[in-house]
Structure 1
Amino acid sequence: MSTSPSLALIDLRAWRQFVAVAEELHFGRAAQRLCMTQPPLTHAIAQLEATVGARLFDRSKRSVQLSATGRTLLPHAIDLLQRATELQALAHSAAEGSAGRLKLAFVSTVGFDVLPQWVMAFRQACPLVQLELVEATGDVQLLGMERGEFDAGFLLHAPGFAPVGLAGLILNTDSLVLAMPEQHPLAQAPVVQLTDMLATPLVMFPRRIVPSLYDAVFGMYHAAGLLPAVAQEAIQMQTIVNLVSAGLGVAWVPASVRQFQRPGVVYRQVVGAVAQCQTSLVWPHSSPVLSRFLEFAPPGASLHKLGA
């Protein structure tokens, strides 16, 4: 099968030979530089000229000079060879995960502790990776990964959560603390008992956002024979804490949220509260760049396989 002119034009060997002759202006020296004999080089240049449809060199018995077409093409040929070299290096970087693209979704609580130092370390080590961060709730993340919109996602969930079809690693396990309005009668109490808080209205995220954690919180109330009174639902943890500060109720939040210091809100450990939460990184398909990202997990992160 014959090679089409368009395919022949991207023959890097031919352009490498052209550059060697153009720089040496001598077929013998160019052939020596290319570790070949002169007749095959002369033939290769003639073939390239036939493909281009123009003379690249003006030849005489005593000299070889670039033609007008050759002078025009030379800088482009040099650039082509340089780009080819860079492409090979880029391919190697992509194969080892230090180049490419990674689109990560995350819940807001991850931004308080886990994510910032992780991203900083990764970006410093892998500047060729195009890292895109998108804040999204758990339900949006799972749907996005199903559609191929996210490569991985940081999820908040209750222990025991194992999404179907996804691999993952547990990054940490956190206790739930109670965010209370500072004017609440027990806000300054040295010890807060769960039984003292069961009748207080809740500010809560909708179940569809984090069903496993929602059920874990409600389970504490059901164990006491009560149905929680939800005063207001909100999606983002910052919004939930802001609503607590306005006196709408109390909220169960991961302990890491205590870093979000909102005037009018105090955080208290509650004796008898058994619900916990975990943060995990989950993904539908592994990739070199994702594997590389995992290498930069913060020192404090204890990685355990999700569902194990």
Structure 2
Amino acid sequence: MRFRKLNYFITVAEELHFGRAAARLHIAQPPLSQQIKAIEDELGAVLFERSSQKVSLTPAGEALLPQARALLQNWEKIQEQVRSVANGTAGNLSLGFVWAAGTPHFSKGIAQFKQDNHGVTLNLEEMTTAHALDALRTEKIDLAMIFLNPLMDITDLEHQEYEIQKHLLALPDNHPLAQKDSVPLSDLHQLPFISFTRQAHPSLYDQIMHSLHAAGVEPNIVQIARLTQTTRTLVAAGVGVALVPESTQFDQREGLTYRPIDGVLPELAIHFVWRKNSLTPLMERLITHLHAQVLR
């Protein structure tokens, strides 16, 4: 039975008059009567008692009325939900992001997006680049914000630039180099160095090491840290110095100083990345929204 027929039945049941029901439905009375008869034939039950004086619901009609209303209401909700998902204003989206992406404009953008889109459920998880790529390829997340560079093999994925960051040198407040306005790259030679794992961001790690070696710097790696937060804690504790994304400076911590570096280091290109042919309207809306926050 089509939903239009149910609407015909409900309208007649509410008006208890075929003429008024037909006028309300903007159709002629004979076709309406035919549609009601077709419903009765399909159900094998008489729904209305008809006489020259009045129209009334039979017990079968009374039983059908609340069910018909519920069906139509559910169908309207389904249509609304489908339209919302189709235009990107509803649905679920899982986003894996590197810590460096979590700048103030990222935090503000996520908060504003959630406030403006109550029908959207965002699942956010901090990840390394390697972890996020694996999660994308195994369909554990929908979208990633990670470090990308031309050396990476991502032919199975699509991407769009989010922002470019530079490296800063993170130092303990009492470190001699903290007295400088900027630190020459060559000054890092043999300094106790805290590094992220190569497994976390393989291509970026190799680029950094290549740049250091090209400048005659042999880093004295004394500690490996998987997360930037751990790196900052270790630097503040005086364990060593570290190269960190410039967004790190937005999250102030006692005992830490950040200085620009004079020398050639790879840029940190953060991109939105997703599986080929998987970009949904919701993903497009989030990407556009977050990218707009960077441009402000």
Corresponding residue to 2:3 among 9, 12, 24: 12
Aligned-partner Cα distance in 1 for 2:75–2:121: 21
- Equivalent position amino acid for 2:208 in 1: V
Q: Is the 8 A contact 1:158 1:216 kept in 2?
A: no
CA offsets 1:147-176 (integer angstroms, 9 cap, x no match): 122221010245765622211111211110
Aligned-partner Cα distance in 1 for 2:184–2:290: 36
Q: 1:258 to 1:162 in 2, by over 3 A?
A: farther
Match of 1:5 in 2: none
Match of 2:244 in 1: 253
- Cα offset for 1:92? 3.1
Aligned-partner Cα distance in 2 for 1:227–1:158: 23
Task: Give me the identity figure in percent.
Answer: 37
Aligned-partner Cα distance in 1 for 2:178–2:150: 28
Q: 1:42 to 1:191 in 2, by over 3 A?
A: closer
Deviates more, 1:132-141 or 1:185-194: 185-194
- Cα offset for 1:207? 0.8
Aligned-partner Cα distance in 2 for 1:72–1:214: 70
Aligned-partner Cα distance in 2 for 1:160–1:117: 32
Q: Does residue 101 of the first structure (1) align with residue 92 of the second (2)? A: yes
**Total equivalences in the alignment:** 293
- Equivalent position amino acid for 1:126 in 2: N
Q: Secondary structure at the match of 1:149?
A: coil
- Cα offset for 1:259? 1.5
Corresponding residue to 2:290 among 297, 301, 304: 297
Aligned-partner Cα distance in 2 for 1:300–1:78: 45
- Equivalent position amino acid for 1:290 in 2: M
Match of 1:149 in 2: 140
Deviates more, 1:198-207 or 1:90-99: 90-99
TM-score normalised to structure 2 length: 0.88
Q: Is the 8 A contact 1:22 1:66 kept in 2?
A: yes
Aligned-partner Cα distance in 2 for 1:12–1:112: 50
Match of 2:176 in 1: 185
Aligned-partner Cα distance in 2 for 1:300–1:122: 11
Q: Is the 8 A contact 1:94 1:289 kept in 2?
A: yes
Corresponding residue to 1:36 among 27, 33, 45: 27
Q: Is the 8 A contact 2:181 2:260 kept in 1?
A: no
Q: Which has the higher helix share?
A: 2
Deviates more, 1:263-272 or 1:248-257: 263-272
Q: 1:54 to 1:148 in 2, by over 3 A?
A: same
Match of 2:279 in 1: 286
CA offsets 1:49-102 (integer angstroms, 9 cap, x no match): 344454432333422112334334323322322333343343333332223332
Match of 1:128 in 2: 119
Aligned-partner Cα distance in 2 for 1:130–1:206: 32
Q: Does residue 85 of the first structure (1) align with residue 76 of the second (2)? A: yes
Task: Give matches, 1:127-276, under 5 Å.
Answer: 127-158=118-149, 161=152, 163-276=154-267
- Equivalent position amino acid for 1:242 in 2: T
Q: 1:215 to 1:160 in 2, by over 3 A?
A: same
Match of 1:306 in 2: none
CA offsets 1:218-244 (integer angstroms, 9 cap, x no match): 112221445422211121111111011
Aligned-partner Cα distance in 2 for 1:168–1:113: 22
- Cα offset for 1:132? 2.1
TM-score normalised to structure 1 length: 0.85
Q: 1:190 to 1:31 in 2, by over 3 A?
A: closer
Q: Is the 8 A contact 1:138 1:156 kept in 2?
A: yes
Q: Is the 8 A contact 1:157 1:210 kept in 2?
A: no
CA RMSD of aligned residues (A): 2.4
- Cα offset for 1:255? 0.7
Q: 1:29 to 1:202 in 2, by over 3 A?
A: same
Question: Unaligned regions of 5+ residues in structure 1, if any?
Answer: 1-7, 303-308
